[in-house]
A and B are shown apart, each in its own frame.
Chain A
């Protein structure tokens, strides 16, 4: 068990980096996912097709392949994902600014992959809004954009919170894959280093890494349970 104490800084640093990755990817996924969801329900057919194609592709391919594409495809496109080096952001999330692009690639892959699931969660929320609401909005002459903005989305948001939360939890768990794709120093990469390079015993390292992930996933899960239960009571 001494490895937990001796290498506490490694675990803490790994947790911090994974946490940063999750925050950035979750933000990106929510933005892209909302956009795709709006595209999927828009009156313009080509936009609908793009939205549907996006969701079909990203929901059905393993995250591993998306990661591979980010790691091999983006360089082939001549991009080092430098557009993520946003001036203010790099001072908080220092990994975004460094020359090695793998952290940025991981953020992009995770965000794009999760966005498809975010889109589906939001769409399920929109479907849960009673049709009468949208009909009433149309009857008083709101356009599609106004209808979404003032009537449908604010209500869809409410019933989408719980599915969105499960999507984010799944994303946190998926972020463990980043350590196997060149991101140095996150939780799963630290686990590999400690066990294979430094030859530390496996079980304590496993416990340490598990705690790192459970600290993020379990409270979020409990929070979701509570929201869900409170809503069930309110609905009754």
Chain B
């Protein structure tokens, strides 16, 4: 990014620096004026900055302060529980789905030459049908809003006689269906993006197709797609807030109760939003860090193998691993 910035305009000379300074000052003044007249004044006139509204959230001496934060903490724990469960289950589901789709793809290419013709044909037909069915399901659930999925999981499962007791599980199932499919597609594209030599080499040393996927392709796909996976986990955490539509007691619904009693929606949502932003911001930094580390690891690994003759390969590899 910083590199791109220097490319887009020259290093500023004295005149350009002056112009930048003036424009900066104008921008700051303009923002301050707009902020004052369009945001601060109307909020102040509505009494949104009084301690009466903010006190319960920021003043430890306020009588309901500890009560409010105890409720909010419960809400956050509920949110994190749902998010954690959804993350674990969608990772498992997504991995299984990715492996299944890769397996079905290889199955579709198999000719079954050793078998009698009718059996071979029916097996090939079966492979084709299974492939089409999984593909269809993936496309459907990827194209549906996760809100709709959660809403219908929560209303359809009890209707079908499946009672899970806790609303938490409906939320987790709804999130898992959507995010599992997305994670499955991320991993699958990661596996298909690997150089073909990986699979061929694995088959050459006698691994079966499932072993190839499990031991060779999947670990590499996880590594390559780690940043994408982490951003998807942020999406899961954000989507947990949708639990309020099926009245799961997560933090936004708890805020609702607080607001009903204290009548300070802006303040409560500002605090909750700030916490969400902080957590997600840290997670996205983690994704960036993972990406940077992997880019570096690849660079250090690529250099010695390209430069070194085969005889010193082992040495180069160990030094690369140590660095």
Where the two chains meet, the residues of A that have a C-beta atom closer than 8 Å to any C-beta of B are: 41, 43-47, 50, 56-57, 59-65, 68-69, 72-73, 76-79, 123, 126-127, 131, 134-135, 138, 143-144, 147-148, 152, 169, 172-177, 180, 187-188, 191-192, 195, 201-203, 206, 209-210, 213-214, 217-218, 221
Contact = CB atoms under 8 A, between A and B. Distances in A.
Given A46-B31, A62-B276, A173 B281 contact: no
B162 to A, nearest CB: 13
A69 B9 contact: no
Interface in B1-48: 1, 3-5, 7-10, 12, 16, 20, 23-24, 27-28, 31, 38-39, 42-43, 45-46, 48
A59 B280 CA distance: 9
A187 B152 CA distance: 13
Nearest to A218: B143
Nearest to A169: B143
B252 A68 contact: yes
Interface residues of B, number: 56
12 contacts: A45-B24, A59-B280, A60-B238, A64-B241, A64-B242, A79-B42, A138-B7, A144-B8, A174-B145, A176-B148, A191-B151, A206-B152
B315 interface: no
Given A131-B7, A203-B156, A44 B146 contact: no
A152 B140 contact: no
Q: What 6 pairs across the A-B complex have the smallest Cβ distances?
A: A176-B145, A60-B280, A217-B143, A173-B145, A62-B241, A72-B265
Contacts of B238: 60-63
Given A44-B23, A176-B145, A68 B269 contact: yes
Nearest to A212: B148
Nearest to A65: B273
Nearest to B237: A62
A41 B5 contact: yes
A73 B266 contact: yes
A202 B143 contact: no
A174 B265 CA distance: 23
Interface string B277-291: 100110010000000
A72 B269 contact: yes
Contacts of A221: 139, 142-143
Given A44-B24, A214-B140, A202 B152 contact: yes
Interface in B218-267: 234, 238-242, 244-245, 252, 265-266
A134 B8 contact: yes
The prevalent SS among residues of B at the interface is helix
Given A43-B12, A73-B266, A138-B9, 6 more contacts: A44-B20, A60-B284, A64-B252, A147-B9, A191-B152, A213-B143
Contacts of A187: 148
Given A68-B252, A176-B148, A180-B147, A46 B273 contact: no
B144 interface: yes
Nearest to A174: B145
Contacts of A175: 145
B28 A46 contact: yes
B63 interface: no
Contacts of B45: 78
B159 interface: yes
B148 to A, nearest CB: 5
Contacts of A176: 145, 147-148
A147 B6 CA distance: 13
B145 A213 contact: yes
Contacts of A206: 148, 152, 156
Interface centre among A41, A60, A148, A172 (most CB of B within 10 A): A60
A65 B39 contact: no
A81 B307 CA distance: 64
Contacts of A177: 145, 147, 242
A188 B148 contact: yes
A56 B273 CA distance: 12
A45 B9 CA distance: 13
